[in-house]
């Protein structure tokens, strides 16, 4: 094409001779002959199929993996290591000035000794890459979408991380809460809403006091406690499945909370179909009962096309005792693999064992469901250094929630990576 345009342009200035015309025609014939020979040398089978094979053998580049309950073995984000990058702070996705950050989680603003260092640790999966998600591309791709976080304060931790990341690139934001939500925002330029529905147990619960008329629980000597209706969703989120396009659930910490649900003074009293469960069952059995009811409830009430996740348990890192026993978390860098096992091994039954115990219940209950499991436990177990600790402003070390900016930013990278693969395959 370039040769033809150049010759045409040149002919306006000079008159071609007969010999030059013959030379031009000879060149055309030679090129044509070479083209015919090359076509015969190319296998007919290779020509049409080669581009398709290139696409199929590069799913990580095209985002074409089929969604499943867990990630495929060649892209398991849960296995890897934390790498220290001293220049990472230059690429802050947001900083401590984001007003949605709860004061107790603002470790940079509270001058926690390693607050800045937290964002310099980057998670590197063993067999694939986990890029920091692009907030502007996220807003564009999920335009006209409603995203809901349903769970305890650890899901709020993740919700705030996502909000602050998105707000860094789009200030056109309005506070707006869907029915039951504790917090919510709409990014007006993209009509994208994210909200947080607070619920500790997923199921509805409240104070229970013995009736003067007696009853099954009264006959067993119970005078007070907490009534947990295992088959009734908490009102804060019961309408969320019919509103949101993407949902992220969690539960766990409150099921092992003797300070709240004291087995003797204020026990969990489970009800099903309005009647107390007799004989009484312990909290771990109650969790199974709640999951048995709540998982199908979500599946039945979601809108067509809704994507649902269940986030695995966020680990605590109390050392020297639990939160009310002087436990602390003063580490300055991530744990080693050996230390992780000391902290969380179910066999050792240590202070922080709830993490893996909860996950055992979750995986069992979610098997065969339409939920995608958002696995963040393993990568988080290393990060004993990433909690607010004494900078949380409480009378005790906060070794349960996470500093912001911090590790829940990586949770959102995993979350968005899941979303991109799921939506690319649809």
Q: Is 37 inside a domain boundary?
A: no
Q: Is 340 inside a domain boundary?
A: yes
Return d(Cα 411, Cα 405) in angstroms, integer. 12
**Block residue for tokens 């309950």:** 69
**Block residue for tokens 């995993």:** 414
Structural domains counted in the chain: 1
Q: What is the CATH number of the domain that holds 276?
A: 3.40.50.1110
Q: Is 281 inside a domain boundary?
A: yes
For residue 268, give every residue at least 6 positions away whose Cβ sits within 8 Å of its Cβ, in sequence order, or none: 205, 225, 226, 228, 261, 283, 286
Return d(Cα 352, Cα 160) in angstroms, integer. 25
Q: Is 313 inside a domain boundary?
A: yes
Query: Please, where are the H alpha helices in 130-276?
Result: 135-141, 153-167, 216-219
CA atoms within 13 A on the CB side of 156: 17
Q: Is 416 inside a domain boundary?
A: yes
* Per-state percent for the chain, helix, strand, coil, to nearest 5: 40, 15, 45
Return d(Cα 357, Cα 57) in angstroms, integer. 38
Task: Kindly tell me the burial class for residue 256, based on how many C-beta atoms sit within 10 Å of its own C-beta (0-12, 13-18, 19 or more).
Answer: middle
Q: Is 13 inside a domain boundary?
A: no
Q: Is 224 inside a domain boundary?
A: yes
Q: Tens of pLDDT along the chain (426 residues)?
A: 343 333 333 333 344 444 444 444 444 444 444 443 343 333 333 333 322 222 222 222 223 333 333 444 458 899 999 999 998 876 789 999 999 999 999 999 999 999 999 999 999 999 899 999 999 999 999 999 999 999 999 999 999 999 999 999 999 999 999 999 999 999 999 999 999 999 999 999 999 999 999 999 999 999 999 999 999 999 999 999 999 999 999 999 999 887 889 988 999 999 999 999 999 999 999 999 999 999 999 999 999 999 999 999 999 999 999 888 889 999 999 999 999 999 999 998 888 999 999 999 999 999 999 999 999 999 999 999 999 999 988 889 999 999 999 999 999 999 999 999 998 876
Q: Is 387 inside a domain boundary?
A: yes
Number of neighbouring beta carbons within 10 Å of residue 339: 14
Q: Are β-strands 183-187 and 372-374 bridged in parallel, bridged antiparallel, or unpaired?
A: unpaired
Domain that holds residue 292: 68-425
């Amino acid at each position: 094409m370039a040769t033809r345009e150049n010759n045409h342009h040149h002919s306006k200035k000079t008159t071609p001779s007969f010999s030059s015309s013959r030379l031009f025609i000879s060149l055309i014939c030679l090129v044509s002959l070479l083209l015919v020979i090359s076509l015969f040398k190319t296998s007919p089978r290779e020509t049409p199929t080669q581009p398709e094979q290139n696409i199929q053998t590069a799913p990580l580049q095209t985002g074409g993996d089929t969604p499943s309950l867990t990630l495929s073995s060649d892209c398991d984000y849960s296995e890897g290591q934390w790498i220290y990058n001293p220049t990472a702070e230059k690429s802050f996705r947001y900083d401590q000035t984001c007003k949605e950050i709860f004061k107790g989680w603002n470790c940079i603003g509270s001058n926690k000794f390693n607050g800045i260092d937290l964002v310099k640790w980057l998670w590197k999966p063993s067999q694939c890459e986990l890029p920091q998600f692009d907030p502007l591309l996220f807003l564009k791709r999920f335009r006209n979408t409603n995203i809901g976080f349903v769970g305890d304060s650890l899901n709020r931790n993740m919700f705030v991380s996502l909000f602050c990341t998105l707000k860094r690139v789009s200030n056109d934001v309005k506070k707006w809460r869907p029915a039951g939500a504790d917090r919510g925002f709409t990014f007006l330029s993209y009509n994208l809403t994210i909200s947080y529905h607070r619920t500790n147990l997923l199921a509805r619960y409240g104070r229970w006091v013995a009736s003067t008329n007696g009853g099954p629980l009264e006959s067993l000597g119970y005078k007070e406690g907490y009534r947990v209706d295992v088959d009734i969703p908490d009102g804060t989120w019961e309408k969320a499945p019919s509103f949101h396009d993407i949902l992220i659930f969690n539960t766990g910490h409150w099921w092992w909370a003797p300070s709240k649900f004291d087995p003797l003074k204020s026990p969990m009293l489970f009800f099903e179909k309005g009647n107390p469960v007799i004989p009484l069952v312990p909290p771990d059995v109650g969790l199974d009962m709640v999951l048995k009811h709540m998982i199908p409830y979500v599946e039945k009430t979601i809108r067509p096309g809704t994507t649902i996740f269940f986030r695995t348990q966020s680990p605590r890192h109390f050392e020297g005792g639990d939160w009310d026993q002087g436990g602390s978390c003063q580490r300055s860098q991530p744990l080693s693999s050996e230390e992780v096992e000391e902290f969380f091994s179910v066999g050792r039954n240590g202070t922080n064992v709830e993490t893996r115990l909860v996950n055992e219940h979750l995986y069992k209950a979610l098997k065969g469901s339409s939920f995608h499991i958002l696995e963040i436990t393993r990568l988080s177990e290393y990060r004993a250094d990433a909690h607010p600790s004494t900078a949380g402003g409480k009378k005790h070390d906060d070794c349960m929630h996470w500093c912001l900016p911090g590790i829940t930013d990586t949770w959102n990278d995993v979350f968005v990576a899941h979303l991109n693969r799921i939506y690319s395959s649809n």
